[in-house]
Amino acid sequence: MKINAQQLTQQLQQGLPPVIWISGDEPLLALEAADQVRAAARDAGVSERQVFHADTSFDWNVLQDANQSMSLFGDRQLLEVRLSAKLKDDGRKALVAYAANANPDNVLLVQSDRLEAAQSKAKWFNQVIEQGWWLPIWPVERHQLPAWLRQRLQAQGLTIDDDALALLADKVDGNLLAARQEIDKLLLLSDTTTIDLDTVIQSVADSARFDIFDLSDAFLNGDLARSQRVLSGLSAEGVEAPIVLWVLSRELRHLVQLAEAQQSGQPLQAVFKRLRIFDKRQGPYQQAIRRAGLDHWQHCLVRCGDIDATIKGRRAGDPWHALSVVISEVAQPGRVPAAL
């Protein structure tokens, strides 16, 4: 029987079949599914476990012997077969034979890479899973990633705002193992149940000696030399360009809104309140909007879109040099820096 990952918990509550086959190329989800099976097996009294790494030289008679023999202490066994190579005829026959004569005291857990359509439709394969479950693991597509991340955070009792979620999704970029690591870091860093953009930025850049918030302060205050020094340090220490771009883009969006308010005669305090920019941070923004008008900040924000395209490979160029240029235009409009 074919099941999906969302059905696994419910199926396990109803009991363990003789055979469970987990296939897929997404390591984290496959690992978590296998862990669920192991936990359910322990709860069902399956107290012993044997693991077989089935490469091209694997002797499949070992599996047959394990199926037919009793545990040393007469306990139920979980037999794990981890396929590291494409199954040959002897392997296919061994699995079919196991399924046809499965020892009711044992559970067979097969783990493999993604199965091609022809493999999943093969007669031998269906003879194997006829006695149990096949759980194909599908990767989380890029457009599904934000919702997947939000769900994982909610399971930990956390909520996340949209900007922070978008940055986190860009940072992990489909690597779910990296996503789990980032979520673990956020759990440690956050002192509230809501994750905001600053917390995510701190999490993804917290190994750097140079503080990414120092960069923001420097270019808003018009300190060109410090801006370039901090930017160079962040680059040298391995902070990723998308993180710097996120900070720069956020500050420019704020500057655009402040410049629009100033141009139309609206009080800046109302904008500061809406953007949640507190008193001690308002001075640098006020300095910045005195250096240039709305058109300049809009132009800089458009340049950030070009940098994003460069980072994603849709546009030629060096994103770090482009970041350096735009940051210079924020700090001191009209100045172009030397190459990093």
DSSP string, 128-143: HHTTEEEEEE-PPPGG
Domain residue extents for the chain:
5-137, 142-204, 212-331
DSSP state letters, 4-27: -HHHHHHHHHT---SEEEEEES-H
pLDDT band at 76 (very low <50, low <70, confident <90, very high): confident
224-236 and 212-220 are packed helices; what angle lies between their axes, rounded to 10 degrees? Answer: 160
| 5-137: CATH superfamily | P-loop containing nucleotide triphosphate hydrolases (3.40.50.300)
What is the mean pLDDT of the segment spanning 298-321? 93
pLDDT-derived band at 80 (thresholds 50, 70, 90) equals very high
Higher pLDDT, 207 or 66: 66
Q: Output the average pLDDT for the chain.
A: 88
Instruction: Tell me which residue of 124, 114, 134 sits closest to 3, measured CA to CA.
Output: 134
The whole-number pLDDT of residue 70 equals: 64
Domain 5-137 shares a fold with domain 142-204: no
Burial (0-12, 13-18, 19+ Cβ within 10 Å), 143: exposed
- pLDDT tens-digit readout, 200-217: 887 765 544 567 888 999
Q: What percent of the chain has pLDDT over 90?
A: 57
- The rounded distance, in Å, linking the Cα atoms of 279 and 333 is 25
- Contacts of 135 by beta carbon, 8 Å cutoff, 6+ apart: 2, 3, 4, 5, 8, 20, 21, 22, 23, 33
CATH tag for 142-204 (out of 1.10.8.60, 3.40.50.40, 1.10.10.10, 3.90.79.10) = 1.10.8.60
Q: State the pLDDT at residue 204.
A: 67
What confidence category does residue 277 fall into, taking pLDDT thresholds of 50, 70 and 90? confident
Residue 335, pLDDT > 70, answer: no
For domain 212-331, say whether CATH 3.65.10.10 is its number. Answer: no
pLDDT at position 71, please?
55
**Type and span of the H or E element at 108:** strand 106-112
Is residue 78 pLDDT above 90, yes or no? yes
pLDDT over 60 at 198, yes or no: yes
Top pLDDT among 184 and 16 is at: 16
Decide: pTM greater than 0.85: no
- The alpha-carbon radius of gyration of the chain (Å, integer) is 28
Is 251:220 a contact under the CB 8 Å cutoff?
yes
Write down the pLDDT at residue 73: 57
Distances from the Cα of 183 to the Cαs of 158, 161, 163, 164, 230, in angstroms?
Answer: 10, 14, 16, 12, 27
CA distance 111 to 130: 17
20 closest CA partner among 182, 96, 127, 134: 134
The pair of structure tokens assigned to 314 is 């849709």
